[in-house]
Structure 1
């Protein structure tokens, strides 16, 4: 499909609902255009710093899970600047922990992780979750849409929800004060705690901020 046609479909899908946050509507419109069952945008806002927007449903926890683990198709697509296709029912050598956790629950789905490019660089990843076979739209349409979205997100960064990222940095600051470690290490401690407790990253951050969870060198 050529870019004008794809943009026309995207605009028509976006016009259906104007009441919810713009980034969420854009993500759902992309999923609708590509006839998929779920999707997410992961946008890089700095070294090892990302903010994600996911469509609600069965796949919405997979983006936060990859952030907690520090591995997965999103990381690979962003690092290698290429489309990564992963069948979620199989254990993958590149990200064994992520694929092993996801396989039992999402074995019938395929994840397409396409780098979103703007200004000659990768600014994020568009994840598309597909349970039907074959994919309704080709990988060329997916990559084209990912690049369109990348440019749009980069130009409208102020319209993304940054609150979760702000909470994470506040929690990291508290862990730094408790343990006397570097910021990168504090983030790693928070992610490790989320993984060890099988909790979402947001849940652990809230526990740290509300002082239900503290850290000491004696642990």
Structure 2
């Protein structure tokens, strides 16, 4: 049975705008934050943040993307929810880069649910928890309802092509904006770095992530520097082997 709170969340999927949907979801689910991320293309390697509330939710999504580990990537790979409402109880070697950084951000617990229908990957729903307790039976039931609703709506509101190859129908306030998704620049940068290092795309992405993490910068910002030729990876006479800024601004 749908609770009154979840009925409001369902209505917000059609009537609210942008991050207001995440704000309603966080309030009605009784969690610290909500983030919905989507795959801009079925073959994409990581989902893009779509709605996030509060700002901490977006920062955590970017952290997972930068370090390439966490409950979100695990949920996508396994296709099952990853529930860690108290990150202090997680073994350090499970997410060695993410856990200390999440603590610095002030993230105490995370529960991540994959969004998918059949063989179509749609994205993830991430809930930030207070770290004091797990999700209650009521919260889990409501979250399951929200996951089902998101799966349905994302397939019919300017989402990826449907399994039969047809284009989804649009809505007055599309949930899946064509503009504003920025992680394509990371893959473009990885392609450039792979040429600069004569390496595979996978190795280039690892190098980008390592540099972003080591310099405490978002991966997207580092990628933009590479694409704009403000940074390149390779050998430089003055700086040796590694990332450096070309003196003339050309890659």
TM-score normalized with structure 1 length: 0.80
Q: Which residue of 2 is the match for residue 37 of structure 1?
A: 32
- 1:64-122 deviations in Å (ceiling 9; x for gaps): 11122221111222222222221133443422321132234426x32111122323555
1:181 and 2:179 correspond: no
3-state SS, counterpart of residue 127 of structure 2: strand
- 1:132-186 deviations in Å (ceiling 9; x for gaps): 7565742122122123212322333252545312222322232233222222222
Matches within 5 A, 1:147-162: 147-155=148-156, 156-157=158-159, 158-159=176-177, 161=179
- Unaligned 5+ segments in structure 1 are none
Distance between the aligned counterparts of 1:17 and 1:162, measured in 2?
Answer: 18
Radius of gyration: which is bigger? 2
Q: Which residue of 2 is the match for residue 52 of structure 1?
A: 49
Residue 13 of structure 1 contacts residue 32 of structure 1 at CA under 8 Å; is this kept in 2? no
Q: Which residue of 1 is the match for residue 74 of structure 2?
A: 76
TM-score normalized with structure 2 length: 0.71
1 or 2, which has the higher helix percentage?
1
1:201 and 2:219 correspond: yes
Which of 59, 80, 83 is matched with 1:85 structurally? 83
Q: Which has the higher contact order (CA 8 A, sep 6+)?
A: 1
1:144 and 2:145 correspond: yes
1:172 and 2:190 correspond: yes
- Unaligned 5+ segments in structure 2 are 160-175, 236-240, 243-251
Residue 42 of structure 1 contacts residue 124 of structure 1 at CA under 8 Å; is this kept in 2? yes
1:215 and 2:233 correspond: yes
3-state SS, counterpart of residue 232 of structure 2: coil
Residue 87 of structure 2 contacts residue 99 of structure 2 at CA under 8 Å; is this kept in 1? yes
3-state SS, counterpart of residue 216 of structure 1: strand
Residue 56 of structure 2 contacts residue 105 of structure 2 at CA under 8 Å; is this kept in 1? no
3-state SS, counterpart of residue 234 of structure 2: coil
Equivalenced residues, count:
213
3-state SS, counterpart of residue 62 of structure 2: helix
Distance between the aligned counterparts of 1:31 and 1:161, measured in 2?
Answer: 25
Q: Which residue of 2 is the match for residue 100 of structure 1?
A: 100
